[in-house]
């Protein structure tokens, strides 16, 4: 491939990914031009744009999905390349082709690679030829009776999926022939609405799998490398909410097999640029799910553990440069978790929460990276995705990352709209998640509004809490006289790193009493209960957890 310098990039997207591409281009000395709809003309990415072109009305079909307007904006601005970001037209082979036909450099894979991987059935057929294992399924273009016949042969339950789909849209689970007959019309209608095609196919539904994906990268010279795994099993309605890198608790042999399958899938279409191969993992088995032919929302966790800027690498590969590293030169350090913070109310089935952000305090911690799209005073509107920011936490290992995540999310304060932070904290406190990765159906089974409301109460911070520094514990003691027992004792309060308090009565000789008050304990010594209650009357306690002291 002939090397082709990029001097100016049109960013064909909005929100935090538009800001992310702006930063990558600026770091490489490449100029940018951003596009925006009328609704976004005052958004953060538009305010920070080097050059801005407002291209249409708020509905995406009139702005961010309008190929002709986007290409015209690139040509009129003097841009010589287009970066599609993620979502919108980022996996549209026709758009990539039209960009190239207009004489512009498309920062992404070739149109034919996008077309093959954009069809779930064509992708399955292609990667299977390269030895990549797929779940049993049907071809595309089948009628409802033909799909029913195929489902009977595969065995129920089966999953109905849109051939041109993604993000869970058009997806239905059928546990019987009757359910299949009822679900197919709805799945086809949803596929038509979202992807302009009602074509669906079916595949065997794998019970309680994990969702593991691999970040791959190819260049124009046939080189393909991987940047490790991510676990994206924390989902709601097939939409990812939390991602981790690397995927935890995978035996080395299984991890290496998944890596190899992802590289082979990329080579099957002569892949160039950034892409992600997604797999379902069940026990020691794994199955190819699909390939996303773009940069992923969750790419920062991979950047955190590898130290590689993947967006800058996209630009270099698009300019015809070979990959600057071999597989052996890619190393992994630590464990990263990404939280997608949405303007949604988890207590109301994640209903959108639009409005004005009236106050915003970010988590100013050294191990936190935040890719954000909004600032204080910005409006979260109804037209687009409600993701406010992505918070990326890097720890020494998974448990360290979880504990740091609790501290970071508790430090993050936003007013004016309801966010998904309480949901994230619910998960981080959940013992099942803390011990091992969960399956993709865990959130749907376990999350309740009551659990999230309890976490929301926990976020009411007491001003008397003292943040531990340097790893040292902060302790306070309170002297009091018990009228009931006629003696003076102490209560020791420990200020923990995650913002909670631990209270213990101290005996007269200075040792901690064996019995400790805890709101979740049963059968405690009545005398100790009275002792603590007496303290609560004399010394107002920290109000975290509804005013109850934790032990």
Catalytic residues: 294
**Integer Cα distance of 90 and 107 in angstroms:** 10
Complete DSSP assignment for 389-446 = EEEEEEESSHHHHHHHHHHHHHH-EEESS--SHHHHHHHHH-HHHHHSPPPTTHHHHH
Query: Could you tell me which of 532, 537, 540, 495 has the C-alpha nearest to residue 513?
Result: 532
Task: Kindly list the distances between the CA atom of residue 87 and the CA atoms of 83, 156, 293, 482, 547, in Å, as whole numbers in the listed order.
Answer: 12, 32, 11, 64, 44
Segments in 199-251 forming alpha helices (H)? none
DSSP-derived 3-state class of residue 240? strand
Contact in structure between 66 and 74 (CB atoms under 8 Å): no
**Integer Cα distance of 170 and 183 in angstroms:** 10
User: What distance, in Å, lies between the first and last C-alpha atoms of the chain?
Assistant: 65
Quick one: residue 77, left, alpha or beta (phi over 0 = left, psi -120 to 50 = alpha)? alpha
476 Cβ contact partners less than 8 Å away, ≥ 6 residues apart: 466, 492, 493, 495
Query: Could you tell me which of 533, 526, 538 has the C-alpha nearest to residue 479?
Result: 538
Burial class (CB in 10 A: 0-12, 13-18, 19+), 101: exposed
Per the DSSP assignment, residues forming a β-bridge with 224 are 218
Task: Kindly list the distances between the CA atom of residue 48 and the CA atoms of 239, 264, 387, in Å, as whole numbers in the listed order.
Answer: 29, 40, 18
Contact in structure between 217 and 446 (CB atoms under 8 Å): no
Burial class (CB in 10 A: 0-12, 13-18, 19+), 408: buried
Contact in structure between 394 and 366 (CB atoms under 8 Å): no
Backbone angles phi, psi at 328, to 5 degrees: -70, -20
């Amino acid at each position: 491939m002939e090397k082709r310098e990029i001097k100016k990039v049109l960013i064909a997207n909005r929100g935090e990914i538009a800001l992310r591409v702006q930063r990558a281009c600026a770091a490489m000395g490449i100029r940018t031009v951003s596009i925006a709809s009328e609704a976004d003309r005052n958004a953060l990415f538009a305010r920070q744009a080097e050059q801005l072109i407002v291209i249409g009305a708020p509905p995406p079909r009139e702005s961010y999905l309008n190929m002709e307007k986007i290409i015209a904006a690139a040509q009129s601005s003097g841009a010589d390349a287009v970066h599609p970001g993620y979502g919108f037209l980022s996996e549209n082979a026709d758009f990539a082709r039209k960009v190239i036909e207009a004489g512009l450099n498309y920062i992404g894979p070739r149109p034919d690679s996008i077309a093959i991987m954009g069809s779930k059935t064509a992708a399955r057929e292609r990667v299977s030829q390269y030895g990549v294992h797929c779940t049993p399924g049907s071809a595309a273009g089948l009628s409802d009776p033909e799909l029913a016949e195929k489902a009977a042969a595969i065995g129920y339950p089966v999953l109905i999926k849109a051939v041109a789909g993604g993000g869970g849209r058009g997806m239905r689970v059928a546990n019987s022939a009757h359910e299949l007959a009822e679900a197919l019309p709805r799945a086809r209608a949803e596929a038509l609405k979202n992807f302009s095609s009602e074509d669906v196919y079916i595949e065997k539904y794998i019970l309680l799998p994990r969702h593991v994906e691999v970040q791959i990268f190819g260049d124009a010279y046939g080189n393909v490398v991987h940047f490790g795994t991510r676990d994206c099993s924390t989902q709601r309605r097939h939409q990812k909410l939390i991602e981790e890198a690397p995927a935890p608790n995978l035996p080395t042999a299984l991890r290496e097999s998944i890596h190899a399958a992802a590289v082979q899938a990329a080579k099957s279409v002569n892949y160039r640029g950034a892409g992600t191969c997604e797999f379902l993992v069940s026990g020691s088995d794994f199955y190819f799910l699909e390939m996303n032919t773009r940069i992923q929302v969750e790419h920062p966790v991979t950047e955190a553990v590898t130290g590689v800027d993947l967006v800058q690498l996209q630009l270099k590969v698009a300019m015809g440069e070979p990959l600057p590293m071999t597989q052996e030169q890619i190393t992994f350090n630590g464990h990263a978790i990404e939280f997608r913070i949405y303007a949604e109310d988890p207590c109301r089935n994640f209903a959108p929460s639009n409005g004005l952000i009236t106050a915003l305090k970010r988590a100013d911690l050294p191990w936190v990276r935040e890719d954000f799209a909004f600032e204080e005073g910005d409006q979260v509107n109804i037209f687009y995705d409600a993701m406010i920011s992505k918070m990326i936490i890097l720890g020494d290992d998974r448990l360290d990352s979880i504990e740091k995540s609790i501290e970071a999310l508790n430090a993050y304060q936003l007013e004016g709209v309801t966010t998904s932070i309480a949901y994230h904290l619910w998960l981080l406190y959940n013992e099942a998640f803390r011990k091992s990765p969960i399956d993709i159906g865990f959130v749907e089974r376990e999350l309740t509004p009551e659990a999230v409301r309890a976490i929301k109460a926990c976020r009411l911070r007491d001003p008397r809490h003292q943040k531990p520094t340097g790893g040292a514990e902060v302790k306070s003691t309170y002297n009091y006289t018990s009228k009931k027992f006629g003696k003076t004792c102490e209560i020791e309060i420990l200020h923990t790193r995650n913002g909670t308090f631990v209270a213990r009565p101290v005996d007269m000789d200075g040792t901690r009493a064996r019995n400790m008050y805890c709101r979740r304990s049963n059968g405690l010594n009545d005398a100790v209960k009275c002792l603590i209650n007496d303290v609560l009357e004399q010394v107002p306690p920290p109000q975290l957890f509804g005013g109850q002291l934790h032990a």
